[in-house]
Structure 1
Amino acid sequence: MGKTTARTHTHGSSIDPNPQKDIAGPSRKAAGKRKKRGEEGSDPSLTNAEIKTYRSNLRGRAIRPTKFYHKKSMKKLGVHDGVYHLFIKLGWRGFLRLCDRTYEEPTMEFLSTYARDDDTEVLTFQLKGEHHRLTYEELDSIMGIDDPFRISPQNQEYQDFLRCPDANFWMQISGLPTFNPSRQRAKHIVHPCWRIAHRVLTTSIFGRLEPGQINRCELFFLRSMRHALSLSFSGFFLDKCDSIRQRSSGEIFIGGLITIIGRAVGLDFPDAEYIPVDTPPNFLLDCDTLIRMEMLLDRGTRTYSWLDSDKAPVYILPSWIGSSFDTGDPDTWLPPDQLTQRCIPRIR
């Protein structure tokens, strides 16, 4: 299997995409003697039967564009600094710079051929008919994750959180006293910085049909931003990939990230050969997209209304709320009148 060298990628589309310059899957553990992290030999791989099954599961499913953060729009709204700070605290300093198009063929090829080994932290996959190998650390680097001490989905703190979510944190960002993932939606998150950070995650690494919902995993990501816990992109991304290919239905939203992986290992996807799934382009989490998502309302005076769960205006953007946002001060996460009415406690 040929070895490839990863290189960091921020954009590669011919249309300047980044104006901001039903079976059980194979075991995650490779058979045989346990190797050290990143050590070659006995790399994870799939059998032909497994690949055939995954291709069958994926066949005919709609591929939708991954949506990426749009710095220019967030600066226009006055919230970029706050959102950027949240991702810095997550250890994902470079993630907001990522942007690329989504293509059907590479998405299907990667999802049907990748194999992972969480013991050695090695990923193998096929793209454009070529075999590639990345360590989890290399994949994290490609995605702009710069903290070497990253929490994986197997971490005990994460597993404990799944069993008992932090209702106090949820109350602080939403004003709601309890967290129930079967009913709670992200629209209950009032402050634009928290809500946009969540939407960035649900339109990329957790891409799904209903990005307006919020589950335990996503709440853990937001809480990790609050407490400066660095999370592994590789582990959570591959868990999402596992979930996608083990089902035989459902739309797929993570193809843009696979394009970025392909470019990082030296591949190209020329327009003459590959047609993006979004034509015309619709892959930016910009003001127009936020308006379509009913999170924002254009006031027609170079200002916008930020809408709450009842689609009522909460803030006029841009305003002071972006620059005053402080992850260490819950008093800056909700409007003053709501803080008074709901008696949101501070975290000492």
Structure 2
Amino acid sequence: MAPKRRKSNDATTSNSRTALQHRSTRGNPSPPSNNPDGIIFDPDLNQEVRFNNLVSRRMTSTKFIDNDALLQLGLKENIYNLFNGIGWGEFVTLHRPTYRRLTLEFLSSLVVDANDSVAGGRLIFRFFNKCYVISMAKFNRLLSLPEQGLRKPPREWDPATFWRAITCEREGRANVRPYEPSKNKASQIYNPVFRYLQRLMANTIFGRGESVSVFRDTEVFLLYCLVNRMVVDVGYFLAKQLEKIGKSSVGDIVVGGMITILAERMNLSFTHLPIEKPISRLDLPYCTTFGLITKVEDEYWLTFFQGPIFPLPNHDLTNTESQENWQPPEGDLPYEPPPQVPLHQPAPYISPHDASTSSASLNWTNRFNMLERGQQHLKDSIHSLQQDMGTEFHAINARLDGFGTTLGTMNQLIQDLHHFSLPHDYAPPPPPQ
């Protein structure tokens, strides 16, 4: 007999409850070999097909906010003022590791019915072979988020206007490029607060395993809401992103930590499960790798298009309450922003300004110092890459050691079987003449 479905405090129709209870009793009692946890698949959710697409994808740690890094860069107070202004203050402090069983079962079963009239929609998903139905409002409550809020921009909102307000694509600048969501790079964002927030959203609410450097429409909108203290239905955006990941067959899975938070807030017991990926954060090495900062001697400098701008912390130049800090000073960039390129196409190398540009005012000593800082940034990036490769190398070695032990055991078993299955005086036949 299948376990009973956990009762929900949300208002749902009796018909939907009956259907879901009936659905939770179905499934294959003999799970396939790629399902060692014995997940019972729900055919009405197309769960087995989705699971098979998910199980072969690489799972990586969810990267959460790093308070130590923000404190050292002088950005913490500013960022948390924005979070607290629209009710995200507690949500961003929830950091959890990734569990493979929880992640695969949830993503393979999640269905988001955003049009349901009950509490702004509902989510259907499974944990430990039980089917759960919760309202969107409760989903937000479980994650310590506002229960209601905007799900789409107001009619008068123009993403291109806000985009140009926070990037080097300012009005009146020569060669201003059109707003194209598929090509807009987060590296064009000048203020380090905004750039850090974009990367945080790309790893959590809009967690994806690729194209994290692309500043998408939804991220532009949420950043706009943060700046203007407009409450957003974050649970809706997160749920839709999780559903999209669960129905896809490509890309790394980076949202496991978010799913762990939900399971924990639902008071589910999963301490018996092994941790698949530990907690990870957007720390100083990561900020260096994605080009937010450059380490110059004992200081971290804000980096903009590979050029160090000024040392951090510097509240007067990074405080987002002043719109003067949203864009770089006119004519004061050491490097020209590279041209936009489509996704998965490398950006061409861009050399420094020649003497006819605004950098002509920089003397040769300053240019040499910039080259040194760029070299240090490259060294830091290589070092971070070496660390990541070393971690993967040790993990591969550990798996190979396990395979070696298993093969040794199998070899011994074969020898034992051979010994017991043949007479002691048995001799193999002579080779053919």
TM-score range, shorter chain: 0.7 to 0.9
- In structure 2, the partner of 1:97 is 93
Q: Distance in 1 between matches of 2:302 and 2:204?
A: 22
CA distance in 2, matches of 1:167, 1:101: 36
**2:231 counterpart residue number:** 230
Over residues 88-127 of structure 1, what are the superposed CA-to-partner deviations in whole Å (9 max), with x where a residue is unaligned? 3343232221111112221110011223332122223222
Code of the residue aligned with 2:185 in structure 1: it is: R
Match of 1:169 in 2: 162
Higher fraction of helix: 2
Q: 1:297 to 1:66 in 2, by over 3 A?
A: same
1:211 partner letter: V
CA offset at residue 324 of structure 1?
3.4
> How far 1:149 moved relative to its partner?
3.6
SS in 2 for 1:55: helix
Which residue is 1:72 aligned to?
68
Question: Secondary structure of the residue that 1:239 maps to in structure 2?
Answer: helix
1:265: Cα distance to partner? 0.9
Aligned counterpart, 2:319: 324
The separation in 1 between residues aligned to 2:293 and 2:182, in whole angstroms, is 25
CA contact (8 A) 2:206 2:241 kept: yes
State the shift of 1:197 in Å.
1.0
Residues 1:298 and 1:268: Cα distance change in structure 2 (over 3 Å): farther
1:190 aligned to 2:185?
no
1:57-78 superposed Cα distances (whole Å, 9 cap, x missing partner): 2130111111000112101110
Measure how far apart 1:289 and its partner are. 1.5
Runs of 4+ in 1 over 4 A off after TM superposition: 43-47, 337-340
* Deviation of 1:241 (Å): 1.9
Q: Once the 2 structures are TM-superposed, how far is the Cα of residue 337 of structure 1 from its aligned partner? A: 4.2
Q: Specify every segment of 5 or more residues in structure 1 that has no aligned partner in the other structure, as ranges.
A: 6-36, 341-348
- The 5 Å alignment of 1:65-214 reads 65-118=61-114, 119=116, 120=118, 121-146=121-146, 148-152=147-151, 155=152, 157=153, 165-176=158-169, 177=176, 178-208=178-208, 209-214=210-215
SS in 2 for 1:223: helix
Displacement, 1:224?
1.4
- The 10-residue stretch of structure 1 (331-340 or 224-233) with the greater mean CA deviation from structure 2: 331-340
TM-score by length of 2: 0.62
Establish whether residue 242 from structure 1 lines up as the match of residue 237 from structure 2: no
Cα 1:290–1:241 change in 2 (3 A) is: same
Report the residue type matching 1:111 in the other structure: L
- By how many angstroms is 1:189 displaced? 0.3
Q: Return closer, same or farther for 1:132/1:246 CA change in 2, 3 Å cut-off.
A: closer
The answer to whether structure 1 residue 39 and structure 2 residue 38 are counterparts is: no
Output the amino acid matched with 1:332.
N
What's the CA shift for 1:202?
0.4
- Matched position secondary structure for 2:310: strand
CA-CA distance at 1:339 after TM superposition: 8.9
Question: How far, CA to CA, are the matches of 1:252 and 1:322 in structure 2?
Answer: 36
- The one-letter code of the counterpart of 1:172 is A
- Give the secondary-structure state (helix, strand or coil) at the position aligned to 1:92: coil
Secondary structure at 1:231's aligned position in 2?
Answer: coil
What amino acid is the match of 1:151? L
Question: Which is bigger in relative contact order (C-alpha 8 A, separation at least 6)?
Answer: 1
Answer yes or no: is the 8 Å Cα contact 2:191–2:318 preserved in 1. Answer: no
Aligned residues: 294
Name which of 289, 292, 312 aligns with 1:292: 289
Partners of 1:82 and 1:229 lie apart in 2 by 17
Partner residue in 1 for 2:395: none
Alignment gaps of 5+ in structure 2 = 24-41, 170-175, 334-433
Letter in 2 for 1:39: T
TM-score, length of structure 1 as denominator length: 0.76
Partner of 1:10: none
3-state SS in 2 of match to 1:54: helix
Distance in 1 between residues matched to 2:88 and 2:55, nearest whole Å: 33
Could you tell me which amino acid in structure 1 is paired with residue 226 of structure 2? M
RMSD of aligned residue pairs (Cα, Å):
2.6
Going from structure 1 to structure 2, the CA distance change for 1:172 and 1:258 (only over 3 Å counts) comes to: same
1:29 corresponding residue in structure 2: none
- Aligned residues with identical type, % of pairs: 23
Contact 1:165 1:179 (C-alpha < 8 Å) held by counterparts = no
In structure 2, the residue corresponding to 1:124 is in which secondary structure? strand
The 2-side partners of 1:314 and 1:95 are apart by 32
Partner of residue 308 from structure 2, selected from 304, 310, 313: 313
Q: Deviations over 1:248-306 (max 9, x none)?
A: 22211111100000111112443x6313225xx5x1111122112222222242x2011
